[in-house]
Amino acid sequence: MGLRDGVRARNESAWLLPNDGTRTNHRLRRDMRRFADEDEIDLVIVGCGAGGSVLLQRLARSGWKVAALDAGPFWDPDTDWVSDEAGSHRLYWTDPRVIAGADPVPMGSNNSGRGVGGSMVHYAGYTPRFHPSDFMTRTLDGVGADWPVGYRELRPYYEQIEQELPVAGERWPWGDPHGYPYRPHPVGGNGEVFLRGAAKLGITAKVGPVAIANGRFGNRPHCIYRGFCLQGCKVNAKASPLITHVPDALAHGAEVRADAMVTGIAVDERTGRATGLHYVSGGRERFQRAAMVAVAGYSIETPRLLLNSASRRFPDGLCNDFDQVGRYLMVQGAPQTAGRFDAEIRMYKAPPPEVSTEEFYETDPGQDYKRGFSVQTVSPLPITWAEHVAAQGHWGTALREYMSDYVHWSCLGALCEFLPLPENRVTLADEKDSYGLRVARFSYSQCDNDRALARAAQSVMEDILHAAGADEVITIQRYAHLVGGARMARDERHGVVDENCRSFAVPNLYLTDGSVLPTQGSANPALTIMAVAARTADHLIAGGIT
């Protein structure tokens, strides 16, 4: 069986999309199975993003009665998405949150999504694997944590998901060296700058890995290099669960219930087992019964939902007997460096994810910090470019001059492995949202190792751009990618779920999103989140409905 046939036999999503120039299989959505609230379905999932959708699709294929409830809409790329930065605001989770700590993390477009497909609808599209070392940083480097599961156990799931998205890129020499199912994309001006500067410094940089079809895949067309990946790919070339896992789930009897905000997880006090979800839909409070529950609401909303699901049995929040819920929330340090060139770069004329290096990923014994960073092309569109320039303090005439010079700039971003710290956490604020639920308070402070990493990454990016011929470089400090907050561990004193993502406290409750990650590496997290969810699905299928 060829590669495509093998993928199709496992996940037919790309072939279930229309082949007539439109982007959505309306029949599949219209004829979707719909469960009644009072049906006790096998599993109900909170959130239909990276982690939730993979679980949904795998279990539906195995004949489970399964539904995913998502607070946001069921997007139709043809009618809902626009090729316009400002007009894409609806894609983000913009409900109120309180931020605190010495280095608070701004929330919004850069770190959350809302709606079927989750944050991957408007993620950039980079899909690197974690390195084997990421699973044992405590043993190797004396920082972070060891996972209760290793790279080797996750590798088959990385391979499956890379084929299903599918991923394009050069052979990857770092971590566990591996190839990709699709050849690398051609690069635009920004990628050429990166490759040129890195080559002059002797730094290996590679094209990819991106979850963007290079050539036709099923009924998905190939990329047209229009650069709107972070606004939702209207073309359907960039992978997101909306097109990579949801169609197959629907075709196998799953329900996706959009515009359904989950407000609480119910647990029977006598049996200690989850019984279903309280949610609000169409202004009505409802309750979906289920034999098992999975939560995949992303790193802020998952711990918030657990904390908001307090009861007599769990007075400090569900699964929070050992004060682990919300802790070890991580965000990658993401300094961004732009360089000006006399030649036109036109960084918007390609997907932002093009070229990256993981040369600096591992701990370097010659440095005074542990762990490392990666560097990638980022290619901001004009509004994000204005934010970069304004963050440097340029306003008025100076800002206008930088803006009219946009086509001459190239832009790189780093992902620094900021360490998991127990005091970086989500708790509940006193403020309430429109559902009457207490909002999340996210407190975040950097440690010395984090700051040293960000300085080192900035200096490497500035060197690369200078080596490529930039006559001016400007760097801003930012954050990217949230993970953690309900991590997996060997026991309940150190985490919330076990190696199969099953909560220690409630035997039929699973968490299958980015919140379970104990460390974050300097890789973008979506592929790992999907691989972990696929592994959990296999565990559930093997164990049956319990």
Ligand X SMILES: Cc1cc2nc3c(=O)[nH]c(=O)nc-3n(C[C@H](O)[C@H](O)[C@H](O)COP(=O)(O)OP(=O)(O)OC[C@H]3O[C@@H](n4cnc5c(N)ncnc54)[C@H](O)[C@@H]3O)c2cc1C
CA distance 546 to 540: 9
Q: Would you say 77 or 303 has its CB closer to ligand SF4?
A: 77
Q: Does 189 bind ligand SF4 (CB under 6 A)?
A: no
CA distance 468 to 462: 10
Q: Where are the alpha helices (DSSP H) in 23-120?
A: 26-30, 50-61, 77-80
State the pairing for strand pair 373-377/409-416: antiparallel
Q: Could you count the other beta carbons within 10 Å of the beta carbon of residue 42?
A: 19
Q: Does 211 bind ligand SF4 (CB under 6 A)?
A: no
Phi and psi for 221 in degrees, rounded to 5?
-80, 165
Give CA torsion, residues 309, 298, 495, 427, to 10 deg.
Answer: -50
Q: Does 46 bind ligand SF4 (CB under 6 A)?
A: no
Task: Single out the residue of 233, 305, 473, 474 in contact with ligand SF4 (rule: CB under 6 A).
Answer: 233
Give the residue closest to ligand X by C-beta: 49
CA distance 451 to 159: 34
State the pairing for strand pair 509-511/330-333: unpaired
Q: Tell the burial category of 469 from Cβ atoms under 10 Å away from its Cβ (0-12, 13-18, 19+).
A: middle
Q: Would you say 141 or 170 has its CB closer to ligand SF4?
A: 170
Report the run of H or E that residue 400 belongs to, with start and end.
Answer: helix 396-404
Q: At what angle do helices 448-467 and 189-201 cross, to 10 degrees?
A: 100
Q: Would you say 72 or 77 has its CB closer to ligand X?
A: 72
Tell me the sheet residues that pair with 473. 339
Task: Single out the residue of 15, 225, 287, 322 in contact with ligand SF4 (rule: CB under 6 A).
Answer: 225
SS (H, E, C) 221-234: CCCCCCCCHHHCCC
The label of the residue with tokens 């070229």 reads 355
Task: Single out the residue of 44, 68, 120, 237 in contact with ligand SF4 (rule: CB under 6 A).
Answer: 237
Q: Would you say 126 or 510 has its CB closer to ligand SF4?
A: 126
Q: What is the DSSP letter of 202?
A: T
Closest CA to 179 of 220, 212, 217, 208: 208
Among ligand SF4, ligand X, none, residue 420 binds (CB under 5-8 Å by kind): none
Q: How far is the CB of 471 from ligand X (least distance, A)?
A: 29
Q: How many residues bind ligand X (CB under 6 A)?
A: 43
CA distance 236 to 212: 9
Phi and psi for 443 in degrees, rounded to 5?
-105, 130
Q: Does 417 bind ligand X (CB under 6 A)?
A: no
Q: Does 229 bind ligand SF4 (CB under 6 A)?
A: yes
Q: Where are the alpha helices (DSSP H) in 120-277?
A: 137-141, 151-164, 189-201, 241-244, 246-251
Scanning 56-64, 125-133, 137-145, 328-336 for contacts with ligand X by CB under 6 A, the matching segment is 125-133
Q: Does 241 bind ligand SF4 (CB under 6 A)?
A: no
Q: Tell the burial category of 313 from Cβ atoms under 10 Å away from its Cβ (0-12, 13-18, 19+).
A: middle
Among ligand SF4, ligand X, none, residue 225 binds (CB under 5-8 Å by kind): ligand SF4
The two structure tokens encoding residue 282: 């169409």
Q: How far is the CB of 90 from ligand X (least distance, A)?
A: 12
Q: How far is the CB of 213 from ligand SF4 (least distance, A)?
A: 8
Q: How far is the CB of 296 from ligand X (least distance, A)?
A: 5
3-class SS at 487? coil
- CB contact at 8 A, 109 and 86: no
Restricting to residues 277-296, which ones interact with ligand X according to CB under 6 A?
A: 296
Q: Does 228 bind ligand SF4 (CB under 6 A)?
A: yes
CA distance 64 to 58: 9
Among ligand SF4, ligand X, none, residue 227 binds (CB under 5-8 Å by kind): ligand SF4
Quick note: the x/- pattern for ligand X over 466-505, rule CB under 6 A, is ---------------x------------------------
Q: Does 195 bind ligand X (CB under 6 A)?
A: no
Task: Single out the residue of 32, 167, 168, 212 in contact with ligand SF4 (rule: CB under 6 A).
Answer: 212
Task: Single out the residue of 168, 265, 513, 520 in contact with ligand X (rule: CB under 6 A).
Answer: 513
Task: Single out the residue of 266, 525, 532, 540 in contact with ligand X (rule: CB under 6 A).
Answer: 525
Output Rg (C-alpha) for the chain, integer angstroms: 22
- CB contact at 8 A, 229 and 350: no
Q: Does 386 bind ligand SF4 (CB under 6 A)?
A: no
Q: Does 49 bind ligand X (CB under 6 A)?
A: yes
Q: How far is the CB of 193 from ligand SF4 (least distance, A)?
A: 18
Q: Does 249 bind ligand X (CB under 6 A)?
A: no
Q: Does 244 bind ligand X (CB under 6 A)?
A: no
Among ligand SF4, ligand X, none, residue 235 binds (CB under 5-8 Å by kind): ligand SF4
Scanning 227-235, 249-257, 276-284, 391-399 for contacts with ligand SF4 by CB under 6 A, the matching segment is 227-235
- CB contact at 8 A, 470 and 447: no
Q: Does 91 bind ligand X (CB under 6 A)?
A: no
Q: Does 483 bind ligand SF4 (CB under 6 A)?
A: no
- CB contact at 8 A, 287 and 257: no
Q: Does 351 bind ligand SF4 (CB under 6 A)?
A: yes
Among ligand X, ligand SF4, none, residue 251 binds (CB under 5-8 Å by kind): none
The two structure tokens encoding residue 2: 């060829």
Binding site for ligand X (CB under 6 A): 46-52, 69-72, 110-115, 118-120, 122-127, 230, 261-262, 296-298, 301, 305, 353, 481, 513-514, 524-527, 529
Binding site for ligand SF4 (CB under 6 A): 212, 223-229, 233, 235, 237-238, 351
